[in-house]
Amino acid sequence: MSLYASFVKNVTLPFYERRRGSDLLQRMGGFEQSQWMSTEQLKSLQFEKLHKLLKHAYQHVPLYREKFDSIGAVPEDFTSLEDFSKFPTLVKKELQERLDDLTATNADPQNLLKGITSGSSGQPTIYIQERSSNRDRVAAGKRLTGIAGWDVGLRLFYLWRDSPYQIEDGKITEVDIHAHQSGSLLGRLKRAIHDRYGVVNPTLRVDPTMMTESEMAEMFQRLKRFKPDVIISYVNTLYRFAQFMDAENLSGIRPRSVIVSSESLYPHQRKLMEKVFSVPVYNRYGLSETGIVAIECPERNGLHINQEILHIEYLPTVSETQQIVVTDLVNYGMPILRYETGDTGVPVAGTCACGRGLERIGNLEGRVIELLPSKLGGHVNGQLFATFHWIEGVKQYQVIQDRIEAFRINIVRTDRYKEANLDPMVTTIREKFGTDTHIDINYMDVIPFTNGGKYKLVVSNIKPNTDQMEADNLSSENKLAG
């Protein structure tokens, strides 16, 4: 750790937090200790928090009172985390349409914060967090990110976009990015000073919306001057930058770690980024509604869960994957109980070699909406199309399923591209989706990012058939006996 980072960690930050009356450092210290508890101790802690939260939700949250009544149960009927799996799940549509009924009736409005999801699943959604619970969320998130190399005082580079949405009069509207970026001279100066000389970490933040070659060349020079200790980015935006650096034979950016999230991380992407930056790449998983959920440790055998503040379950999907279901154990303002995330993964058995008792998630292979239905029956995982990365002359790609028998494939080419290079992949698509599947190839100069700054490799515009999933869920939501 540099002299500056040590000074911030041991002098300026403790002084700043004391002046604010904040206990952030104490909370972070508590999470640093609890991560070494045994899995059984952590599960006991989880259930203790869950038991209190269920009582609160039953008494003060109308939507959850309905869910309790629907299965003829009361909080006392749930005597273990296994029992809790019989409680009905919460879906995004309920969050979007019944926010008032999810907000605790005894909550102090001054203690509530409203946020907005990225909208990557199709529609941004308002959620509510308590200011008091947010302190635990921030502290636990910093602890978890610290497992992958972050620390107080280190220089951070964020290849990340600010939210393109805002809340006005209780409704979601798009932010005028140009007005936000310009603003008053004083406002821009304050933002620049706060980022560059922030109390916790000096920070350089770049909006990845365009990522043209000229922009990436400028960003490379800025990074060389800034000398980041940690890089945090969306997967595909940093991968695109790594491709640029590799093609231009650029080097000299040497962070101590790279942390990527928000999109599926493929092995070839990790390999190239590690080659370019000469450090380990760590996968991180988070949700706007709950904060950072899990992250890899140096063992990189699954992602450690923020288990002291979250409870994770897994539900079968229409494919052979399992959907991640999350419960926030600290948010009493808008409890999130058994929330269907739309993301897929599996539990990793056993204790990690690093010694932490925190449970782990494995096989983070994308979202349920990236399971593409086939007219031949069943669903095909979007990872099938990762083969495009190895096709000569394909610089970038995007696969869009418009109808069950029709695909658009957007491609950015290099000079080595030949149409015949796609033939094996076209054959594979027709083998998986039907011999008469229609495939349009579109050549583009650049594939645009989403509003939230992400880059979607695989998109299905077909609404998933959830009838079977709902039937499966109903069978596990029978009334609790006795």
Q: What is the pLDDT of residues 223-257, one digit of tens each?
A: 999 999 999 998 888 998 999 999 999 999 999 99
Out of 29-33, 94-98, 206-210, 338-342, which region has the weakest mean confidence (pLDDT)? Answer: 206-210
Task: Give the 3-state secondary structure of residue 411.
Answer: strand
Place of tokens 């009905």: 88
Q: Across 95-99, 277-281, 286-290, 320-324, which has the greatest mean pLDDT?
A: 277-281
Structure tokens of 97?
């349409």
Res. 471 pLDDT band, cuts 50 70 90 = very low
Place of tokens 């008494």: 59
Out of 106-110, 177-181, 353-357, which region has the weakest mean confidence (pLDDT)? Answer: 177-181
Instruction: Give every CB contact of residue 239 below 8 A, 6+ residues apart in sequence.
Output: 269, 272, 273
Q: pLDDT at position 482, please?
A: 38
Q: pLDDT at position 469, please?
A: 36
Residue 79 backbone phi and psi in degrees, to 5: -110, 5
Q: Which residues pair with 113 in a beta bridge?
A: 129
Q: Which residue has the higher pLDDT, 219 or 462?
A: 219
Res. 262 pLDDT band, cuts 50 70 90 = confident
Q: Which residue has the higher pLDDT, 183 or 298?
A: 298
The structure's pTM equals 0.79
Give yes or no for residue 273 having a pLDDT over 50. Answer: yes
Res. 453 pLDDT band, cuts 50 70 90 = low
Instruction: Give every CB contact of residue 48 below 8 A, 6+ residues apart in sequence.
Output: none
Out of 159-168, 344-353, 425-434, which region has the weakest mean confidence (pLDDT)? Answer: 159-168
Average per-residue pLDDT in the chain? 84
Q: pLDDT at position 236, please?
A: 83
Q: pLDDT at position 316, please?
A: 87
Q: Across 23-37, 164-178, 183-197, which has the greatest mean pLDDT?
A: 23-37
Q: Which residues pair with 130 in a beta bridge?
A: 112
Res. 70 pLDDT band, cuts 50 70 90 = very high
Positive or negative, the CA dihedral 312, 316, 319, 321 is: positive
Q: pLDDT at position 167, please?
A: 60
Q: Which residue has the higher pLDDT, 202 or 157?
A: 157
Cα end-to-end distance, the chain, whole Å: 58
CA atoms within 13 A on the CB side of 336: 29
Q: How far apart are CA 150 and CA 51, in angstroms?
A: 33
What is the identity of the amino acid at 279? Answer: V
Give yes or no for residue 132 having a pLDDT over 50. Answer: yes
Res. 90 pLDDT band, cuts 50 70 90 = very high
Q: pLDDT at position 121, please?
A: 52
Q: How far apart are CA 170 and CA 351, in angstroms?
A: 45
Q: Which residue has the higher pLDDT, 115 or 192?
A: 115
Residues 133-160, mean pLDDT to the nearest whole number: 92
Q: pLDDT at position 389, please?
A: 74
Residues 422-432, mean pLDDT to the nearest whole number: 92
Taking a C-beta distance cutoff of 8 angstroms, is the pair 396, 447 a contact?
yes
Cα 177 to Cα 75, 115, 162, 354, 448, distances in angstroms: 46, 18, 9, 43, 16
Give yes or no for residue 399 having a pLDDT over 70. Answer: yes
Res. 184 pLDDT band, cuts 50 70 90 = low
Among 277, 313, 307, residue whose Cα is nearest residue 295:
307
Taking a C-beta distance cutoff of 8 angstroms, is the pair 466, 316 a contact?
no
Give yes or no for residue 179 having a pLDDT over 50. Answer: no
- What per-residue string of b and e applies to 128-148 under the rule 16 or more CB within 10 Å gives b? bbbeebbebbebbbbbbbbbb
Alpha helices, H only, 248-400: 267-277
Q: pLDDT at position 439, please?
A: 95
| Residue 12 DSSP class | I
Residues 189-211, mean pLDDT to the nearest whole number: 67
Among 315, 457, 331, residue whose Cα is nearest residue 397:
457
Structure tokens of 109?
């409005």
Out of 36-45, 70-79, 124-133, 463-472, which region has the weakest mean confidence (pLDDT)? Answer: 463-472
Q: How far apart are CA 466 and CA 482, in angstroms?
A: 31
Give yes or no for residue 300 having a pLDDT over 80. Answer: yes
Res. 370 pLDDT band, cuts 50 70 90 = low
Task: Give the 3-state secondary structure of residue 131.
Answer: helix
Q: pLDDT at position 19, please?
A: 74
Give yes or no for residue 450 having a pLDDT over 70. Answer: no
Give yes or no for residue 314 having a pLDDT over 50. Answer: yes
In this prediction, what percent of the chain has a pLDDT beyond 70? Answer: 82
Q: pLDDT at position 212, please?
A: 82
